[in-house]
Structure 1
C-alpha cells in the first residue's frame, strides 16, 4: 500500500544522446582500438595525399602514366586481396594487420620520399597493393566482436575518424608555401613513415585476437596456403548463391571506381584546369572532410537509423552525381581561379562530402551485413578481389581521358553513379536486419 505522505520520485528525463556519440563512447575492445587510432592517418598519409598526383606531375610523370600507376596498384591489390583471406586466417587478424600495415604503408612511404621518376612510383605502387591484406584483417578485427546492429555506426565512426584528419591540412600547406612542393612532399612522406609505424604499434598493443580469428587459426593450422586457396571454391559457392552478396559487390565496385578516379584526378583538375595554386590544395579535402563529419553527426544518422537502407543509398548516389556534374560544368578561368570558381567548388565539396560519405558507409555496411559470418575473411577476400578487378581499368581509362581533357574523368564517374542509381532502384536486396524488421 502506498504511503500518501511519501514523496513521489520522478525519474529524470534524459535527453536522447546522438547515436553516433553513444556508439563512440560505448565502444570497447578491438572496435575501440581500431576507431580511436584512425585519426593518426591525419598526421601521416592524409597530409600528403592531396599532393600525391601533383607531386608526380612535378617529377615528370604525365597524366596517362598516373592513371596507369593507379591501375597497376589495383592489380597488385587484386593479387594480395585474393591471398588476404588465407593469410588472415593463418596468422590471425591482429598479427596480420600489424605486419602488413608496415609492408603496405611504411615501406612505400620511404620509396615515395626519395622518388625520382616513374619507376620509383611503380615499385611503390606494387608494394602498396599489399594493403588489401591488412584491409581484410583490419575489417575482421574491427567488426567480428561487435554487435551486428552496430556495424553501420562503427563504419560511420571509421569514416568520421578519417575525416577529422583533414584538420591537419594547414600543416602541409604551410610546408609547401615555405619549402616548395617537391621538398615539402618528401618531408611529408618521411613523416608518414614515422606516424604510421606508431599507429601500427598502438593498434597491436591495445587489441586482442577475435573469437572467430582464434577458431580460424586453429582450423588452418598445418594447412598450406595453396590448399587453403583451393578451398576458395566452396566459398565461391556461398557468394554465387547469395543475391545480397552479389548486389553488395556491384554497389561496392561502383563506389570504389568513383572513389579511385576522384582520389587520383580531383586535385589535378582543380590545380591544372581551374587554376587553384599548390598551397591551397590541402584545404579542399579539409573542408570536404569537415563537412562530411558534420553530416555524419546530423543528417546521415537520421537517414540510416532505420533498418531499410535503400532510400539512403539512392539519395547518396543522387547527391554525389550532382557534385560530379557540377565539377565538370565549372568554366576554366583565364589564369588563376576566380571567386566564382571557388564558389562553385565549395558547392561541389558540399555535395561530395555528403554523397561520398554516406556511400562509403553504406557500401561497406552492405558487404559486412550480407557476408557469411563463419567465412568472413575468405568471403571478403573474394569480394574485394572481385571489386578490384572491376575497378582496375578505371585508373588507366581516367588517365587516358584526363590526357585529352582534365574534366572528362568526371563524366566517367557521372555515368558510374547513374548506373548505381539504376542498380539500387531495380535490384535492391534486403539485408538480414531488414528481413528481421519485417518479420517483427
Structure 2
C-alpha cells in the first residue's frame, strides 16, 4: 500500500520533527485565528493590531539575513532547543498580559527565534531518505497538520464560552504546554547527523554577514532574470496583501458580519477540508495548464473573493468565500513555488531564496505573514503594510480590503505582462 509505504520514510529526526510539528501547528491554529480579538480585549484598537503586526517582523530585518550563517557555525539541535525554550517563555507573557502593550512586547521578542529556520530546514533535508523524499515530506506534512484541521473550531468554542480575554488566555496556556513538550521532545530525541566541523560563532562574523547580505542586494537583483524580478514583485505584493487584511479577518467577521467565534472556526475548518485534498490536483494543473496561467487565475479569484467578504453577509456566504480562498491558496502556492524552482538560477539559489523567499505565497490566509517563506527583502514592505492596515481599519473597516484589492489587481497584471516561464506549455 502506497500510504503504508510512505510511513517507512518518516524515520529518525524526521519522525521526531513530525511529532513536534503536530504539536506546534495545532497550537498555532488554536490561537492565531483569534489573536486580534485578544488585543482588543486588552484595551487595544485596530491601530494597535497593526502595530503588533509591524513588531512581529522587526527582528527578522536583522536575523533572517544571518540565520544561515548561524546555522553553519552552531549545533543545529541546540539552536532548535534554544528557540523552543525562548518561544515558550515569550508565550507565557501572553498568558499573563495585563495590557496589549505586554502582548506587543511578547510579539517583538518572539521574532527573535527566526534564527531557527535554516537549522530546521537542514535537519529535515538530512533526514529524508533518498528515493523517498517526496513521500517522506508528504506523509510528514499530512501527519503534522492533521490535528490543526479542527483546532480553530475548538478554539472558537472556547472563546464563545469564556470570552475574548479569558478564552485567549486559556488557548495561549495550551500553546505554552504544547511548546514546552515539543521542545523537551526535541532535546531528548533529536540527533545531530552531520559530521561537518563547525567553527565557533563570533559576533564580528555575524555583523559582517549582515552587512554583506544587504550590500549585495543590488547585484543580486541585477542577476535575476526579468521574469524572476517580476515574480519577486508579485510575491511581495501577495505578502503585502496578507499583511493588510490578515489580522482583521476575524475582527470584521465578528464585529460586522455578526459571526460567533465558533462559526468563524467552522469556516476555517471547512476551508481546510476543501484545501488539503486540492494540493495534488493543483500541482497537476500548474504543470499541465502552465504555472503563469495558474498563478494568474489564483490571484484574480482570491482578489474577487476577498473583496466580496466585506460586501456579502451571512454565515453561508462567508463559508463559501473562505472555501474559494482555500482553493486559491493551494493553486497559488503550487504555481508560485514551481515558478521559483524554474526561474531561480541554480548557482545562486540559496542567496536569492533567502532574499525573496521560497515562493510560498499565502493567498487569503488568516493572521500575519511570517515564517521561513518570507525573504528578508520582503520584510520592510510587509512591516509598513501591517502598520498602515491598522490606521486604515480605524478609519473605515472596509479600507484594508480596498487596498488589498488594489495590490491583488497589480499582482495579477504583473504576472500576465511580465512573468514568463520557458517550461510553460501555454
Paired position in structure 1 for 2:294: 312
Paired position in structure 2 for 1:224: 205
2:158 corresponds, among 172, 175, 194, to: 175
Any stretches of 5+ residues in structure 2 without a counterpart? 357-374
Matched, 1:80 2:81: no
Paired position in structure 1 for 2:40: 57
How many pairs were matched up?
405
Mapping of residues 368-383 of structure 1, within 5 Å: 379-383=352-356
Matched, 1:393 2:375: no
2:317 corresponds, among 344, 367, 386, to: 344
Mapping of residues 98-177 of structure 1, within 5 Å: 98-103=81-86, 105-143=87-125, 154=137, 158=141, 161-162=144-145, 164-177=147-160
Please, which moves more after superposition, 148-157 or 345-354? 148-157
1:327 corresponds, among 287, 304, 309, to: 309
For 1:148 and 1:125, locate their aligned partners in 2 and report how far apart those are by CA, in whole Å: 40
Determine if contact 1:98/1:204 at 8 Å carries over to the other structure.
Answer: yes
The RMSD of aligned alpha carbons is 3.8
1:54 CA displacement: 0.8
1:348 CA displacement: 0.9
1:224 CA displacement: 2.5
1:176 CA displacement: 2.6
Determine if contact 1:41/1:196 at 8 Å carries over to the other structure.
Answer: yes
Change (3 A) 1:98 1:396: same
* Larger gyration radius, structure 1 or structure 2: 1
Paired position in structure 2 for 1:303: 285
For 2:38 and 2:399, locate their aligned partners in 1 and report how far apart those are by CA, in whole Å: 21
1:385 CA displacement: 1.1
1:363 CA displacement: 4.1
For 2:282 and 2:109, locate their aligned partners in 1 and report how far apart those are by CA, in whole Å: 35
Determine if contact 1:323/1:352 at 8 Å carries over to the other structure.
Answer: yes
For 1:83 and 1:35, locate their aligned partners in 2 and report how far apart those are by CA, in whole Å: 26
- Give the TM-score taking structure 2 as reference length: 0.80
Determine if contact 1:300/1:358 at 8 Å carries over to the other structure.
Answer: yes
For 1:75 and 1:419, locate their aligned partners in 2 and report how far apart those are by CA, in whole Å: 26
Determine if contact 1:284/1:349 at 8 Å carries over to the other structure.
Answer: yes
Please, which moves more after superposition, 273-282 or 386-395? 273-282
1:293-351: CA deviations, max 9, x gaps? 13225x324324569522322222122123212212225xxxxxxxxx11210111111
1:415 corresponds, among 393, 406, 409, to: 406
1:386 CA displacement: 0.4
For 1:22 and 1:166, locate their aligned partners in 2 and report how far apart those are by CA, in whole Å: 24
1:240 CA displacement: 3.8
Change (3 A) 1:93 1:351: farther
Paired position in structure 2 for 1:335: none
For 2:405 and 2:256, locate their aligned partners in 1 and report how far apart those are by CA, in whole Å: 19
Any stretches of 5+ residues in structure 1 without a counterpart? 1-13, 332-340
1:9-31: CA deviations, max 9, x gaps? xxxxx9xx69xx98676455555
Determine if contact 1:249/1:367 at 8 Å carries over to the other structure.
Answer: no
